[in-house]
Structure 1
Amino acid sequence: MSLKKNALLNSIKQTCTIIFPLITFPYISRVLQSENYGKYSFASSIISYFSLIAALGVSNYAIREGAGIRNDKKRIEKFSSEVFTINILSTTISYILLFFTIIFWKYIQKYTELLLILSIGIIFTTIGVEWIYSIYEDYLFITIRSIVVQFVSLVLMFIFVKSRDDYIIYAVITVLASSGANIINLIYARRYVHLHLTMKMNLKQHLKPMLVLFCNAVMVTIYVNSDITVLGIICGDSEVGIYSVAAKIYTIVKNLLNAIIVVAIPRLSLYLGTNKLNRYYQTETKILKSLSIILFPALTGLFMTSNQIVVLISGPSYELANIPLRILCFALGFSVLASFITMTILLPNRQEEKILKATIISSITNLILNFIIVPFLGMNGAAFTTVLAEGIVFILSSYYSINIFRKMQTNFFKTFLMIFIGCIGIVLICLIINQILSNVFVSLIVKIVISGLYYLLILIVFREEDVTELIHKVIKL
């Protein structure tokens, strides 16, 4: 299956994962209110650290190493069983640490019920072995499964969450939505490999690169989630609830854009593993151009419509989330470009140590600044520290990848000019519509439609390859 189809399927999957909270969030934020939604968000941020321990960098490692041997049935089956066993072991350790944390950290004991419910997602994620489907680029099954599960969860949400005290039920349903079908994953995976637990885990071979990727993931989570954790400790549940609106919207857009990147990892690893360097550089160039064409107008539009989006999604009582969301738009640009560099350049080229260096520096800086800035600026300070963290990772990863960029040997001037003209037009369109329309919903829809048509026209005028190819296909039909 082509990278375009894989990217489309993975985007659909990500969209379905995103549509679930996007549809329900206007309802949930109003029903639970900022304090109880803040409790859920704080507990979720705590669980994210233990999810990382369970994950142990397995997914990225397995995709990178497994893609190169996927056609060797015996090797891939042995490799997959070893990795799966290690993942089960790390998950067990994660649960032990979680129980000790709840017992000895009195502050979070009031969130015990929430923490235990949300922790169910840890084991479901492990047994879901989604990395197997990425190795074999089977995004069709994952996409179909996600749509079905999200739909069922959506129905359950509206049936059972009725009052502000139903945040526990909300937690149960979100766990079901995110990982409830992973048992099916484990069974369906038998069409590719027969997984089994093994005493011969080959730790000497697997553990070091896994730990490097794990440490990197820990550092990333610190600078992604420490804002909510520190905000919850210092400012309380209500401010966490408001800030979580901005963080959720930011995460939604970031995940959609990262879907383009994730599907390329197995293919790029395959090209490098088979020494097809020309194909590797060509694919890298194409991904970067496509990503840039989508990324910059997306964050420009998000910045210009942030107030309307916040009000429509969560209601006027969350309007203060508008400012941190605008600040996070800058983090979005840094984050997605840094993901492109780390996931498609450094990771396939086995430069995990460089990724780790960048994220360690970023995470330590972010954590320190959170404790310094958040007490004074609250949620706006939390958003600002996220921008700094993402910016540091982007700058350092770009520096580490400079030799690869040189080998790509592509002139991006025309692409950047096209994007610049497009984004300037989006800003002007949004400013003009602000003066004409006052209704929040109508204003947002008109901005999206007119800006989208304008940007499409710019792509056509500049004869952007993918758009031109799509137009030719439509004409032939």
Structure 2
Amino acid sequence: MKKNLFSMASAELAARILAFVLTIVIARNFGASAFGELSVAQIIGTYISILVVFGLNTIGIRELAKNEFAESIVTNIHKIKLAFFLVTNVISVVIYLMASYDPHTKLLVLLYIFSSSLLAVMDLSWVFNGFSMMKYTSLVRIFQQFLFVLLAAALLYFTPLGVLALPISLAISALVTGVYAIYLLKRSKLISSMNFKEMFNFTRFSLDEIKLFTNSGKIFLSAILVQVYTSSGALIVSHYHSAAVVGLYNANLKITILLVAIPSIIVTVLFPLLSGANDGRRKELFNSSLKTMCVIALPISIGGVITSYHLIGLLYGAEYLGASASFKILIIGIFFSFINYVLGYLLISHNSEKMFLRMVIISSVVNMSLNFLLIPRFGIIAASATSVLAELIITIGYSYKIHRLQFFSIEIGWVGRMAFVSLLFAALVMTFNYFTPIIVTLAMSCISYALLVYFFRLMPFIARPKKVLQANAL
């Protein structure tokens, strides 16, 4: 697990950092208004990509982890995804021809729909994840992101395409990466062959394909609803406020997207292990991962709240300082988001998708209702607050279900140490933030927290060696 976690962490963080650096360059050079228009197009593209995937990747990982028939699963899943890709893009072209919006905006949205859905179809990393071969996932991920950033930088510098260079680069990188992933699959011999003829046979769908489709429905609906409460705020803000205001909110969202790479990496490695484990082992993995998430998430939320003004100024410049107030609120939700990753994937691994879906529906309805009610008056402050509330609702619901399943193993001593370290860390960050520049504050805060975590033995893998030595001595 540690080897897989290192492979995933290094590749995913490198990929996210590359994308984030490109985001900062675009935000600084094109301004908040253009950045806002770009964010709306990206969000629409994300909705379409979720539709194309339709929760099939998660179901596929679970089935492959159970040692099911790999070739048929891969073929069936990609056949369904290809069908969704064709349908969504045809509908998008029709809407593009009928819509009366600005031609540049329409083209940007259409290109993002095509490129995002193509990336969803060409994504084969879930196959490697299902076999716990994270080194191949890492190769594919870093290859795609590096190629995308390289192409985008070249097109932005050498052509007059402007922000249109981004979806064009995404489409090219998706296609090339898909071919590379197929090569890795054949080289690794995880699957003996891929039935491309059957993939493009849309005249008939087998019972296995229909079963995959129906089983993935709940995951798809959950993914769409999660996207609703994370990004609907930006869409509603774009309706009631200027593109510049959307750009400010999008600047905050890009930071949170970078940060959630951390729980995403952990659960990507954890999910196949949870799916294939018995209840005892599953409980152990879950509680260790939950502690890890708390240790990582709390300093991010605490430090983000305290340093928000200087951090936004450092990353985006003075034009985006108006985003700092909403960022203080949004960064609090990072803690609940980290926790929800572990809670949610435990429920899925335990075949409790109904509870997973129920809580996402409730939080999405609350989020959307409050967004329409509050955003017209309070803008991005309301959008941030409703996102945090949605995450909190999900945390409460998931925790209740997991408590009933008797998976929680609460250690009062660990909770007390974690609370004390959090308070001490907050005091240190406030001191650093008052007396030192932001870069020095961030560096000293990270070093201080790492020492506190080690001294108080908060991480599971730090606390374990002593117990192991005692057991060996007996």
> TM-score by structure 2 length?
0.89
User: What is the correspondence of 1:3-18 to structure 2 with a 5 Å cutoff?
Assistant: 3-18=1-16
**1:308 counterpart (304, 310, 335):** 310
Contact 2:432 2:444 in 1 (8 A): no
Counterpart residue number, 1:363: 364
Structure 1 residue 456 corresponds to structure 2 residue 450: yes
Q: 1:128 to 1:26 in 2, by over 3 A?
A: closer
Aligned residues: CA RMSD: 2.4
Cα distance in 2 for residues equivalent to 1:228 and 1:407: 36
**2:217 counterpart (181, 206, 211):** 211
Cα distance in 2 for residues equivalent to 1:444 and 1:233: 35
* Stretch deviating more after TM superposition (148-157 or 42-51): 148-157
Contact 1:83 1:201 in 2 (8 A): no
Q: Which runs of 5+ in 1 are unaligned?
A: 438-442, 472-477
Cα distance in 2 for residues equivalent to 1:362 and 1:32: 34
Structure 1 residue 76 corresponds to structure 2 residue 70: yes
- Partner SS state of residue 181, structure 1: helix
- Partner SS state of residue 463, structure 1: coil
Amino acid at match of 1:235: H
Contact 2:263 2:341 in 1 (8 A): no
Number of residues of Structure 1 aligned to a counterpart in Structure 2: 454
Cα distance in 2 for residues equivalent to 1:419 and 1:175: 45
Counterpart residue number, 1:340: 342
Counterpart residue number, 2:354: 353
Structure 1 residue 385 corresponds to structure 2 residue 386: yes
Q: 1:384 to 1:402 in 2, by over 3 A?
A: same
Query: Can you list the C-alpha shifts for 1:399-453, whole angstroms capped at 9, x where unaligned?
Result: 222223x344x3332322222222222221222123323xxxxx22322232223
Counterpart residue number, 2:34: 36
Contact 2:294 2:335 in 1 (8 A): no
User: What is the correspondence of 1:12-411 to structure 2 with a 5 Å cutoff?
Assistant: 12-70=10-68, 75-107=69-101, 110-118=104-112, 119-162=114-157, 166-176=162-172, 180-190=176-186, 191-193=189-191, 194-196=193-195, 197=198, 199-202=204-207, 203-271=209-277, 276-343=278-345, 345-404=346-405, 406-408=406-408, 410-411=409-410
Amino acid at match of 2:298: F
Contact 1:250 1:325 in 2 (8 A): no
Contact 1:57 1:213 in 2 (8 A): yes
Counterpart residue number, 2:418: 419
Amino acid at match of 2:235: T
Cα distance in 1 for residues equivalent to 2:150 and 2:44: 27
* Stretch deviating more after TM superposition (118-127 or 325-334): 118-127
Q: 1:391 to 1:317 in 2, by over 3 A?
A: same
Query: Can you list the C-alpha shifts for 1:320-350, whole angstroms capped at 9, x where unaligned?
Result: 111111111122112221121111x210111
Cα distance in 2 for residues equivalent to 1:219 and 1:161: 34
Q: 1:143 to 1:41 in 2, by over 3 A?
A: same
Tell me the CA shift for residue 178 of structure 1: 6.6
Q: 1:247 to 1:68 in 2, by over 3 A?
A: same
Amino acid at match of 2:242: G
Q: Which runs of 5+ in 2 are unaligned?
A: 467-474
Q: 1:176 to 1:105 in 2, by over 3 A?
A: same
* Stretch deviating more after TM superposition (127-136 or 243-252): 127-136
Contact 1:124 1:183 in 2 (8 A): no
Cα distance in 2 for residues equivalent to 1:34 and 1:116: 21
Query: Can you list the C-alpha shifts for 1:366-409, whole angstroms capped at 9, x where unaligned?
Result: 112111111101111111111121112211122222223x344x
Q: 1:5 to 1:124 in 2, by over 3 A?
A: same
Contact 1:125 1:179 in 2 (8 A): no
Cα distance in 2 for residues equivalent to 1:248 and 1:400: 31
Contact 1:86 1:201 in 2 (8 A): no
Amino acid at match of 1:384: A
Tell me the CA shift for residue 290 of structure 1: 1.5
Amino acid at match of 1:467: I
Amino acid at match of 1:425: L
Identity level (%): 20
Q: 1:415 to 1:182 in 2, by over 3 A?
A: farther
Tell me the CA shift for residue 110 of structure 1: 4.7
> TM-score by structure 1 length?
0.88
Cα distance in 1 for residues equivalent to 2:445 and 2:118: 43
Cα distance in 2 for residues equivalent to 1:180 and 1:121: 14
Counterpart residue number, 2:472: none
Q: 1:353 to 1:445 in 2, by over 3 A?
A: same
Tell me the CA shift for residue 204 of structure 1: 4.0
Cα distance in 1 for residues equivalent to 2:34 and 2:179: 30
Amino acid at match of 1:456: A
Cα distance in 2 for residues equivalent to 1:164 and 1:296: 43
- Partner SS state of residue 379, structure 2: helix
Cα distance in 2 for residues equivalent to 1:178 and 1:83: 18
Q: 1:363 to 1:104 in 2, by over 3 A?
A: farther
Tell me the CA shift for residue 51 of structure 1: 1.2
Tell me the CA shift for residue 131 of structure 1: 1.2
